[in-house]
Amino acid sequence: MPAALFSSSLLSLPPALSLQKPTPSSSSSSSSSCSLLKLSSRSPPSYNIASFRRRSCASRRFYSPQGDRHPPPFPPLITADPEAKGDAWDPSRHEALLKGGEQVVSLLQEMLKLLEDMEMDEASEPMAVEIVAQGVIGKRVDEMESGFMMALDYMIQIADKDHDEQRKSILEVIKQTVLDHLTKKCPPHVQVIGLLCQTPQKESRHELLRRVAAGGGVFKSENGLKVQLPGANLNDIADQADDLLENMESRPTLPDRKLLARLVLVREEARNMMGGGLLDERNDRGLSTLPEAEVNFLSKLVALRPGKTVQKMISDVMHGKEEGADNLETGDDEVSDGRQKNLSGVAGRGSVTGRRPRPVRPGMFLETVSKVLGGIYAGNVSGITAQHLEWVHQKTLEILQEMAY
């Protein structure tokens, strides 16, 4: 029976969401635009069903906001303010989680009703789940509460903690379908960034950019499926990727370096395909001064001969080590007079602000390299330094390619 596509525990949400804190998973998404780009490929799951109907009523065992005097131990993903220390229980997020959870339950129950009316063999069951999810979510996507994805992420965390792969697979199908629908509502250049972030091969990304820049259309993929590509401007794609990078890199810590690496590749490859390449005047971010941390690191690199040593230095920083390590210290007064002499500014001179420079970020580092290269070429004095910087730029992209996929 098609209802056997669901495990018996699929809708058995944790009673009142009062389980112990699960370890936050890296697959959780936020409601920001970055979450629309975080689209992962998945292999068709295999489902083994039991008594789904008998257990579905357990799905509504949530805490009542009025009856619960003590905050349930939600995971930090949901309850903690990103800029606050510790886990602070937020009643508004609790309420959003409850409403979102009710919508997830209602959606799953509607999917069950449709699957019960279908006849299929075991091999076609995974495809049936995806088709039904597309139909049900398509009708509801505009009515979803803000806490829908929050509740869905929490349920995926619980399923992962319980090692319930069947439940986790079905919930991830729903999450991916929701993200697909939301992405289709985005402007064309945002949709293209999402597609590029899912394309591991460099040559395939370049081909995709060429077809998008030519106006898009319907094309046949390598596996024989037809893919519809929107038309978009390369400058819009590069600018949007740059905006997302700037937003991510301005934070004290980088939660997802893999996504960051993909966005850097998208920006650099889109810029490279424009008329003037990386030095096109449209790629100028308008920086009046170059960032201190990136200039310091670049000064170290150009002082050394290109080779494995320099390549390892770049790799360490791109992976968040050495100069690229997240600065976990907070506060404007973190640097006292006694430590002032230990802080270096541009080219080893004392720091003007007296504060520790922020970490070297991949996107801003390549922005700095391009800016310096532009100045060298504008002065018509390229020489060995320009060749060295070109080598640094190329090796950095190769390292980011390995990080991204």
361: three-class secondary structure by DSSP: coil
Q: What is the mean pLDDT of each run of 10 residues along the chain (405 residues)?
A: 40 38 38 38 43 38 38 40 48 82 88 81 80 87 84 88 86 87 85 90 92 87 77 92 92 88 95 76 68 91 92 94 78 41 44 67 92 81 81 95 92
pLDDT at 100: 87
Instruction: Specify the DSSP element, H or E, that contains 87.
Output: none
In angstroms, the Cα distances linking 226 to 42, 216, 219, 232, 322 are: 19, 13, 5, 19, 45
pLDDT at 288: 66
In angstroms, the Cα distances linking 292 to 60, 247, 268, 286 are: 54, 18, 22, 16
In angstroms, the Cα distances linking 114 to 124, 133, 179 are: 15, 10, 22
Please provide residue 279's backbone torsions phi and psi, each rounded to the nearest 5 degrees.
-95, 10
pLDDT at 257: 92
Q: Which residues contact 108 (CB under 8 A, 6 or more apart)?
A: 6, 10, 11, 59, 174
pLDDT at 118: 78
pLDDT at 301: 93
Residue closest to 38 by CA, chosen among 202, 172, 169, 176: 176
pTM for this structure?
A: 0.62
Q: What number of other Cβ atoms are within 10 A of residue 312's Cβ?
A: 12
